[in-house]
């Protein structure tokens, strides 16, 4: 199990607590320390699509110029933005054996993990 995100993010903290409460071992990948790769994001996009992986709330998205926001229309344009601005990736991304189990945090999803 691998959890991707930023340690001080509130939803990442909730996800980590939920996994720990269930006794689920996981490896944490810190976007800020370890970065993100094109292959990593491309794999997620193939599984969940850019609409589900792109975080349109928060200060990073809010500060983007409108022309950048409106230019995001598909996986390729979202990938370019996510590589440049990893904070626009919805956190956390929970992965098991290269399969995305969840993006963001929803308590019900974490309670019903299909491992």
Per-residue b or e along 89-100, where b marks 16 or more CB atoms closer than 10 Å to that residue's CB: bbbbbbbbeeeb
Does the active-site annotation cover 9?
yes
In whole angstroms, give the CA distance from residue 93 to residue 100: 7
Q: Which of 1, 2, 3, 9 is catalytic?
A: 9
CB 74 within 8 Å of CB 42? no
Q: Which residues are catalytic?
A: 9
């Amino acid at each position: 199990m691998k959890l991707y995100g930023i340690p001080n993010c509130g939803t990442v903290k909730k996800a980590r607590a939920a996994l720990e409460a269930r006794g689920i071992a996981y490896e944490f990948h810190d976007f800020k320390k370890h970065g993100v790769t094109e292959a990593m994001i491309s794999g997620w996009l193939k599984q969940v699509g850019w609409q589900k992986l792109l975080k349109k709330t928060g200060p990073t998205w809010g500060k983007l110029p409108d022309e950048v926001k409106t230019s995001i229309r598909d996986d390729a344009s979202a990938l370019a933005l996510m590589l440049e601005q990893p904070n626009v990736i919805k956190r956390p991304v929970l992965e098991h054996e290269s399969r995305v189990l969840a993006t963001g945090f929803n308590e019900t999803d974490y309670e019903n993990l299909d491992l």
